[in-house]
């Protein structure tokens, strides 16, 4: 078995998914879960891109101890400096510096000659090496680059101190055969390749990201880059959970080993989906809702007779368990705290109290509290910016029925602690509610997308709402849960708004490739 390192870029490339903007507490929560999942390196963000991202990377670097934390930098000294400032507190800080190497990128985007690109790449790796013990260098758009040129620049950046060479299929254009061949070529044509490891990074524009990743590993790549649920720029990146399970189930074909704990897949996937607001398609491999559902009678009959007739992966392998009930109305603070620890959460006293209060409120309205409910409460509490002035919902009341006009009255506390109240009508209850909220807040708000789902099943399941809104022209997402769907909708609206309020105090987030 050959050992393969896993480099997760959910918090950087994944966060570049359209409409995703995670705050630093959410990023930290995902980072903690990635550590539990057993990844070897995490790319926490792009520190030079914004003050918000800088702070998030720093917080992760200062907290995560068992996983190497890295940050992205363009081939600009100030990017490397910003990354060092954010990462220097990490146990194993690393830098990921990149420059484009394809003819189209060099000519039109960088407007540099190939020799200038080599010079800059070498200079940046040298510069980065003065600060970072580990420097990863990426050839952006490697898969559309000239192989001989790529071999030349790789040899030089290895000499300059790069210990990981990443060859991305930036636009998801390569076929498995081409992508695999590029790795074989570098293994055979870069004289000092034994001084570094090769890494693959695939985008899914043609739906080939996982296949390309595997082709790279079969041809010498020792590190895989990808994201949870395959989120990322455009069609996303290679889904790490798919690669990990493929290696395990088809170990006869793929003699590769990782440090991943497959039982953490479900929870990692749920957390990323919840916090990014990116729903997982029902038929997605490994983590989709239907991945283990057998619909046709013939399949059901087969599975009942012998599970492996139609089931090649067990739900248990990825940590999918039926919602075990541990706590209920009569559970005390002690039992609750034990359960929180058993679920792997580290909550401060203040957050534990808040979580316990929410749990108690829920037990008043819901008979059975499931693991999914607790996961929702704990994630919400853990990512709440507690000591920040923000909008708070004091109360709302909705009147609607089949024969009258839906009318909502909302009372809000503003970040200046002022109490404001408004009544509005709408075509539906949520529209009336949002109309009243729009009138009460001082920001300009436009709703772009609204989604509602349930946490788990049953008539008393928690409702979860995700919204995308333009707030003062900036796209923000928000999520909210409650037992009632309208209250979940109100919470999602305020969550997006408060994110904007908090973020605009820090910095206006800027994506790097726009
Ligand atoms: O896809 C890509 O080329 C990237 C680089 C920044 C590594 O994400
Ligand atoms: Zn990428």
Q: Give the count of beta carbons closer than 10 Å to the beta carbon of residue 103.
A: 14
pLDDT, position 514: 35
- Pick the residue whose CA is nearest to atom 5 on ligand 1: 140
Expressed in angstroms and rounded, the spacing between residue 170 Cα and the centre of ligand 1 is 6
- Pick the residue whose CA is nearest to atom 2 on ligand 1: 170
Q: Is 385 helix (H, G, I), strand (E, B) or coil?
A: coil
For the stretch 150-177, pLDDT in tens is 999 999 999 999 999 999 999 999 999 9
The side-by-side arrangement of strands in the sheet containing 474-482 is 445-455, 462-471, 474-482
The closest ligand to the CA of 236 turns out to be: 2
509 has pLDDT over 50? no
% of the chain surpassing 70 pLDDT: 97
The atom number, within ligand 1, closest to the CA of 13 reads: 8
- Least confident interval from 42-46, 198-202, 285-289, 330-334: 330-334
Does the Cβ of 256 fall within 6 Å of ligand 1?
Answer: no
Does the Cβ of 199 fall within 6 Å of ligand 1?
Answer: no
Does the Cβ of 213 fall within 6 Å of ligand 1?
Answer: no
Of 176, 173, 111, nearest to 145 by C-alpha is: 173
Q: pLDDT-derived band of residue 511, with 50, 70 and 90 as boundaries?
A: very low
pLDDT, position 513: 39
Does the Cβ of 140 fall within 6 Å of ligand 1?
Answer: yes
For the stretch 167-224, pLDDT in tens is 999 999 999 999 999 999 999 999 999 999 999 999 999 999 999 999 999 999 999 9
- Least confident interval from 55-59, 436-440, 459-463: 459-463
Q: Are 67 and 42 in contact (CB under 8 A)?
A: yes
Does the Cβ of 35 fall within 6 Å of ligand 1?
Answer: no
For the stretch 107-133, pLDDT in tens is 999 999 999 999 999 999 999 999 999
The atom number, within ligand 1, closest to the CA of 72 reads: 6
- Least confident interval from 121-135, 351-365, 378-392: 378-392
248 has pLDDT over 90? yes
DSSP track, 167-235: EEETTS---HHHHHHHHHHHHHH-TTGGGSEEEEEEB-TTS-HHHHHHHHHHTT--EEEEBGGG--STT
Expressed in angstroms and rounded, the spacing between residue 3 Cα and the centre of ligand 1 is 23
Q: How far is CA 447 from CA 21, 278, 400, 418, 496, in A?
A: 16, 17, 21, 24, 10
% of the chain surpassing 90 pLDDT: 78
* Residue of 46, 138, 179, 209 to mutate, ligand 1, most atoms within 8 A of C-beta: 138
Per-residue 3-state assignment (H helix, E strand, C coil) for 59-107: HHHHHCCCCEEEEEEECCHHHHHHHHHHHCCCCCEEEEEEEECCHHHHH
CA 173 to chain centre: 23
The atom number, within ligand 1, closest to the CA of 170 reads: 1
Q: How far is CA 257 from CA 1, 5, 198, 237, in A?
A: 6, 9, 16, 21
The atom number, within ligand 1, closest to the CA of 201 reads: 1
The closest ligand to the CA of 173 turns out to be: 1
Expressed in angstroms and rounded, the spacing between residue 227 Cα and the centre of ligand 2 is 10
């Amino acid at each position: 078995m050959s050992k393969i390192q896993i480099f997760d870029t959910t918090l950087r490339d994944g966060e570049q998914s359209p409409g995703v903007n995670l705050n630093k507490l959410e990023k930290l929560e995902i980072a903690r879960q990635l550590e539990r999942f057993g990844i070897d390196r995490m790319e926490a963000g792009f520190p030079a891109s914004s003050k918000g991202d800088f702070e998030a990377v720093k917080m992760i670097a200062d907290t995560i101890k068992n996983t190497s934390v890295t940050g992205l930098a363009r081939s600009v000294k100030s990017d490397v400096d910003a990354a060092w400032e954010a990462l220097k507190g990490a146990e194993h800080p690393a830098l990921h510096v990149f420059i484009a190497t394809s003819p189209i990128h060099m000519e039109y985007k960088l407007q540099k000659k190939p020799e200038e690109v080599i010079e800059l790449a070498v200079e940046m790796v040298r510069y980065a090496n003065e600060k970072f013990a580990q420097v990863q260098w990426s050839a952006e758009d490697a898969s559309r680059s000239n192989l001989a040129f790529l071999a030349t620049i790789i040899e030089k950046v290895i000499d300059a101190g790069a210990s990981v060479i990443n060859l991305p299929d930036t636009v998801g254009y390569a076929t498995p055969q081409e992508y695999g061949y590029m790795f074989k070529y570098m293994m055979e044509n870069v004289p000092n390749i034994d001084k570094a490891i090769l890494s693959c990074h695939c985008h899914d524009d043609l739906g080939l990201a996982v296949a390309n990743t595997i082709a790279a590993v079969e041809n010498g790549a020792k590190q895989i880059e990808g994201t949870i649920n395959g989120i990322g720029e455009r069609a996303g990146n290679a889904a790490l959970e798919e690669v990990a399970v493929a290696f395990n189930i088809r170990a006869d074909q793929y003699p590769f080993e990782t440090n991943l704990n497959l039982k953490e897949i479900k929870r990692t996937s749920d957390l990323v989906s919840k916090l990014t607001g990116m729903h997982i398609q029902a038929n997605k491999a490994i983590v989709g809702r239907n991945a283990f559902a057998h619909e046709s009678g013939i399949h059901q009959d087969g599975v009942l007779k012998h599970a492996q007739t139609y089931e090649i992966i067990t739900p248990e392998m990825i940590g999918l368990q039926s919602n075990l009930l541990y706590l209920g109305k009569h559970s005390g603070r002690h039992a609750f705290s034990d359960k929180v620890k058993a679920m792997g959460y580290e909550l401060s006293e203040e957050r534990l109290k808040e979580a316990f209060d929410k749990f108690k409120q829920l037990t008043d309205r819901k008979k059975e509290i499931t693991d999914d409910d607790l996961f929702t409460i704990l994630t919400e509490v853990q990512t709440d910016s507690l000591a920040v002035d923000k909008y708070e919902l004091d109360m709302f009341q909705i009147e609607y029925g089949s024969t009258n006009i839906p009318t909502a009255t909302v009372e809000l506390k503003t970040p200046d602690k002022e109490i404001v109240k408004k009544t509005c009508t709408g075509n539906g209850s949520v529209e009336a509610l949002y109309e009243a909220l729009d009138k009460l807040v001082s920001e300009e708000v436009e709703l772009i997308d609204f989604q509602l789902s349930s946490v788990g099943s049953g008539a008393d399941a928690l409702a979860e709402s995700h919204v995308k809104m333009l707030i003062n022209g900036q796209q923000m997402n928000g999520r909210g849960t409650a037992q009632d769907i309208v209250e979940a909708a109100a919470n999602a609206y305020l969550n997006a708004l408060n994110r904007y309020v908090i973020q605009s105090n820090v910095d206006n987030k800027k994506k790097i490739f726009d």
